[in-house]
Structure 1
Amino acid sequence: MPAYGFEVYKREDGTAQLRQNPRQADVIREIASRLLAEGGPETPAEIADDLNGRKEPTPRGARPSKRIADSGRTYKWTAAGIRKMLKSEALMGWKMESRPVSGKKYYVTVPVVDKTGSKIRMAEPIFTDEEWRTLQARLSERSFPVSPPRHVTPFLDVVRCGYCKGKMRMHVSRRKTKSGRSEYPKFRCVSPRTAGGKTQYGCKEQVSWEPDRLLAALELHLMKQFGDVEAQERIYVVGANHGIRIREIEDLVSAIKADTEPGRRYGTALARLQAEEMLGKLDTEYKSLSEASTVDRWEYRSVGKTWRQMWKASATPELETLLRENGVRFLCYREHFELFSPERLKM
């Protein structure tokens, strides 16, 4: 599947080649020129709105699959889509391939190189080398780091709405007062629901609590139920493979039993006692190895402190992880709270 801006065609000898798609290449050059315009450059979002207003087909919309075409689904230009398209080296005619990102579920597209380490050009580039460098520099200038949120919800995976069991997030209302701008944080249910044909956030009960009161109640319930219980963390254990040693023991047992016959190593009464002792030890080891789990599994192991000690000494992220891994949920209702915890945590 060629990148947007290119198309496949067959030459007279039947070989498939890659060449620029005139209309798509013009759209790409137009977008670049508008981003690079001196004095009044446009933003990717402004350009996307204009292209959508003109009903210009997007890269995916220009070549929809049969399934998408049959569904009637349409696509729109977006600022992120424009930036991603203009950063792809496919626009310079290079042969590209998708590679998985370690530990992730998505792929990155990178140029293919030959044995000499050189990129392979499949078609005439849409930009000159100088135009490409200028465009990439401008795109980098217009990249802004995303600031971390000021109000991070503590115990996000632990605190839940008692009615819908959905998550509750920290929501901050801001109002100007005579003394200046003030903030009013609250935990609110954020489960999505449809009302009047629109998506709204927060179940019908609209549960909300002030953070100080909710967190104080969480601590009170935790300490009351299992504050003096030894805290445990969840550990992933790789199953042991004792197959080699088990086969060794089986061979040893057979050999020792054979040597207990008259005239063999353990053929005398005294030597036979030694053989029986050896066989007993091997039998015990064999049973132990046979009963050992060979399956990868999760296990809970003590951290060496009680929950009360952990609560006083640990940071919120560590406590949240510990509570989540132990299956603890703190349910919030309009008038009360309820702590859900597994039986093994209860005193």
Structure 2
Amino acid sequence: MRRVLFAERISDDKNERSDSIESQHDKLSRRALSEGVTVVGSAVDLSVSGDVDPFQRRELGAWLTEENLTKWDELWVSTQDRLSRDDIHFLRFVFWAIENNKSVLVLDDPGFNEQMHSRTGRLLLHAKGLGPAMELDRIKARTKDSHERRRFTARWTGGIPPFGYRPVSRFVDGKTATYLEQDPDMVKVLREMRRQILAGQSFFAVAKYLNEKGEHTARDRARIRRGKPVHRRGAAEGVPERWSETTVKSLLRDPALLGYKKHKGEVLYDSQGQPVQVADSIFTDEEWETLQAAVEARTQTKVRRVNGTSPLYGVVWCGECGSKAVHKGSIHSGVEYRYYVCGAWPKEDRCRGVSIRAEEVEGWVEIYFLDRYGNQPVTERTWVPGTDNTRELEATRKRISRLRHLYVEGEFEDNPKEYKDRMHALRTREAELAAEPVVEGHWSEVPTGQTFQELWAGLDLEGKRKQLIKSGYQVRVGRKTFKVTPEPATVSETLERLSAEGADTEALTEVTEALRKTGHLPRE
């Protein structure tokens, strides 16, 4: 009995004229029924380009391994290009089939299998392989030209849209084209991510939140839109991708969230030196700047707490050597014992190691901190936007250099006016950017109207930990030592600092009233 394997393939490329999978399967099945063969399986490769090596295809490749090689005798395809459009891959498969005594049936080429077994026939097959290969080259060239024409327009040229956006078809200038628009669901997710980062959450905590909520990544959402199952690399189909610290950080720093178009990872700029806008920005300029400042601050900080570890992680430090203390726990006779110990010991000779009961440290924080700092006003960090065009100026000068290089290479021989116009626009923008002063953005502390004593009552241990870190306080513990740094500022120092940071009259008045309320300043 002849054992037959069907090979069916279809590409997502809209320029490729090909039978549907259903049509291919129907033709192969009717032929199999007429010849009375046994069909052992169908290798169905969906959305697989014709230039993919048959041995690398997900479905067909599995049947070509030594493990499955003995399960079939003949490979059937409806047309030759369903096997491959690449002439090298095609010929490699032909010689592999000959070496392994496999027959190949091509429905629209009855003499294909016989030609495999003669020199003249193989020469003809080589010529036949060039046809689909040349057509594939034409498809790629047309696609590339199309992308080049649309690259600097607001149209979406394809691929996975940035998180926060979805592709839509619109009828413009008599043609249907694809554009991007904001996806309300993803925008809501992005705004929550921004809120959490500004509130002091770590990238890990945000990723954990997204995974627990079951929020899909941009790639998985694209799969779902195409009717495909979600898929994590290295896992079975249906298993979604996971968010990580890296993906969260990369997403929140991506200028694509401003609606900018990118090519090979870089923002595209038009002839006027402005970013190509492909969609509406998800964040306002101020929201974006505060987010970038928070992301940068989170990137630079060394205080990253892993859930389930030290309740005062990042707050307690070794008073002997200055290293961060770590939280240790053990259970003896059913009783749990917790300690804060020097994180450097015994790796570092400079410290003999500090080990203090955690309950004592946490109790001291409650008593000592409030006794010494409870009357201090609580402030919130507010981002004051700055102006720094250094990056844009550098990018503009690079574009000037590239444009000059293209001119030297003869790119504008047929249109010198275009070169002059583009160069003039870039030079003008360069002069504007160079003339603008650089003002660094900075954080300013705005009083909340509360003292630490008033705030403390409503916070749990984790809230107190975050507030201490946010306020810049550290607790240093050692043998018979307990010290909170920095020392509390005097009234005059507090007012002077806030004034230097640009606090307005109203803010200074609020601080003054808060200090009067706590008795630090006399009533007028």
Which TM-score band (shorter chain)? 0.3 to 0.5
Q: Which has the higher contact order (CA 8 A, sep 6+)?
A: 1
Structure with bigger helix share is: 2
Q: Normalization by structure 1: what TM-score?
A: 0.40
Q: Normalization by structure 2: what TM-score?
A: 0.28
Structure with bigger strand share is: 1
